Structure 1
Amino acid sequence: MYTFLAGIALLIVGYFTYGKFVEKIFGVKADRATPAYVNNDGIDYVPMSTPKNSLIQLLNIAGTGPVFGPILGALYGPVAFIWIVIGCIFAGAVHDYLTGMISIRNKGAHLPELASRFLGKVMKHVVNGFAVLLLLLVGTVFVTTPASLLHVVMDGKVALSIIIVAIFIYYILATLLPVDKLIGRLYPYFGALLLISALGVGIMLIVTGAPIPELSLTNFHPDNLPVLPLLFFTISCGALSGFHATQTPIISRTTQNEKQGRKIFYGMMITEGVIAMIWAAAAMSVFDGGYAGLQEVLAAGGPGAVVSQASTALLGAIGGTLAILGVVVLPITSGDTAFRSARMIIAEYINVAQKKLSNRLWIAIPLFAVSAVLTQMDFNLLWRYFSWANQSTAVIALFVAAMYLYIAKKNYYIALVPGIFMLVMVITYILNAQIGFRLSMNTSWIGGLIGTVVLVVMFFRAAKKARANNLPLEEDISNWNRVA
Structure 2
Amino acid sequence: MIWFLSCVAALIGGYFLYGTFIEKIFRINVERQTPAHSQSDGVDYVPMSTKKVYLVQLLNIAGVGPIFGPIMGALYGPAAMLWIVIGCIFAGAVHDYFSGMLSVRNGGASIPTITGKYLGKSAKHFMNIFAIVLLLLVGVVFVSAPAGMITNLINDQTNLSVSMTTTVIAIFIYYIIATLVPVDKIIGRFYPLFGALLLFMSIGLISAVTLSSEHTLMGSFHVKDMFTNLNPNDMPLWPALFITIACGAISGFHATQSPLMARCMENERNGRFVFYGAMIGEGVIALIWCALALSFFDNLEALSQAVSTGGPGNVVYSASFGLLGVFGGVMAFLGVVILPITSGDTAFRSSRLILAEYFNMEQKTLSNRLIIAVPLFIIGGILTQIDFGIIWRYFGFANQTTAVMMLWTASAYLVRQNKLHWVTTIPAIFMTTVVISFILNSSTLGLGLAINISTAVGLICSVMATLYITKLPKKTQQDKGEQSNTETEKLA
Shorter-chain TM-score: which interval?
A: over 0.9
- Is structure 2 residue 223 aligned with structure 1 residue 216? yes
- Is structure 2 residue 420 aligned with structure 1 residue 411? yes
Question: Structure 1 pair 473/459, CA: closer, same or farther in 2 (3 Å)?
Answer: farther
* Aligned position for 1:37: 37
Q: Take 2:258 and 2:458, find their aligned partners in 1: how far apart are those partners?
A: 29
Q: Which deviates further from its counterpart, 13-22 or 126-135?
A: 13-22
1:215 CA displacement? 5.2
1:258 CA displacement? 0.5
The letter for the 2-side match of 1:264 is V
* Aligned position for 2:208: 204
Question: Structure 1 pair 256/473, CA: closer, same or farther in 2 (3 Å)?
Answer: same
One of 251, 254, 260 as aligned partner of 1:241: 251
Q: Using the aligned pairs only, state the percent identity.
A: 52
Question: Structure 1 pair 205/473, CA: closer, same or farther in 2 (3 Å)?
Answer: farther
Name the Cα RMSD after superposition.
1.5
* Aligned position for 1:481: none
Question: Structure 1 pair 218/170, CA: closer, same or farther in 2 (3 Å)?
Answer: closer
* Aligned position for 1:458: 468
- Is structure 2 residue 267 aligned with structure 1 residue 257? yes
One of 173, 188, 191 as aligned partner of 2:192: 188
| Cα contact 2:415–2:470 (8 A) shared by 1 | no
* Aligned position for 2:14: 14
Q: Which deviates further from its counterpart, 320-329 or 149-158?
A: 149-158
Question: Structure 1 pair 15/357, CA: closer, same or farther in 2 (3 Å)?
Answer: same
Structure-to-structure mapping, 1:105-254, within 5 angstroms: 105-155=105-155, 157-208=161-212, 210-212=216-218, 213-214=220-221, 216-218=223-225, 220-222=228-230, 223=232, 224-254=234-264
Number of residue-to-residue matches in the alignment: 473
Q: Take 1:405 and 1:314, find their aligned partners in 2: how far apart are those partners?
A: 47
* Aligned position for 1:421: 430
The letter for the 1-side match of 2:150 is L
* Aligned position for 1:366: 375
Q: Take 1:227 and 1:142, find their aligned partners in 2: how far apart are those partners?
A: 26
Q: Which runs of 4+ in 1 moved over 3 A?
A: 213-219, 470-477
1:281 CA displacement? 0.5
1:210 CA displacement? 1.6
| Cα contact 1:3–1:214 (8 A) shared by 2 | no
Question: Structure 1 pair 24/473, CA: closer, same or farther in 2 (3 Å)?
Answer: farther
One of 382, 387, 392 as aligned partner of 1:383: 392
1:350 CA displacement? 1.1
The letter for the 2-side match of 1:417 is I
Q: Take 1:305 and 1:180, find their aligned partners in 2: how far apart are those partners?
A: 34
| Cα contact 1:55–1:187 (8 A) shared by 2 | yes
Question: Structure 1 pair 207/442, CA: closer, same or farther in 2 (3 Å)?
Answer: same
Q: Which deviates further from its counterpart, 438-447 or 323-332?
A: 438-447
| Cα contact 1:84–1:273 (8 A) shared by 2 | yes
Q: Given the two structures, how large is their TM-score scaled by the length of structure 1? A: 0.95
| Cα contact 1:78–1:215 (8 A) shared by 2 | no
The letter for the 1-side match of 2:39 is N
* Aligned position for 2:338: 329
Q: Take 2:225 and 2:45, find their aligned partners in 1: how far apart are those partners?
A: 53
1:206 CA displacement? 2.2
* Aligned position for 1:304: 313
1:218 CA displacement? 4.9
1:475 CA displacement? 5.3
Q: Given the two structures, how large is their TM-score scaled by the length of structure 2? A: 0.94
- Is structure 2 residue 93 aligned with structure 1 residue 63? no
1:468 CA displacement? 5.6
The letter for the 2-side match of 1:142 is F
Question: Structure 1 pair 164/218, CA: closer, same or farther in 2 (3 Å)?
Answer: closer
Secondary structure class of the residue paired with 1:109: coil
Structure 1 gaps of 5+ residues are 478-484
Q: Take 1:16 and 1:335, find their aligned partners in 2: how far apart are those partners?
A: 30
* Aligned position for 2:74: 74
* Aligned position for 2:51: 51
Secondary structure class of the residue paired with 1:376: coil
Secondary structure class of the residue paired with 2:236: coil
1:473 CA displacement? 7.0
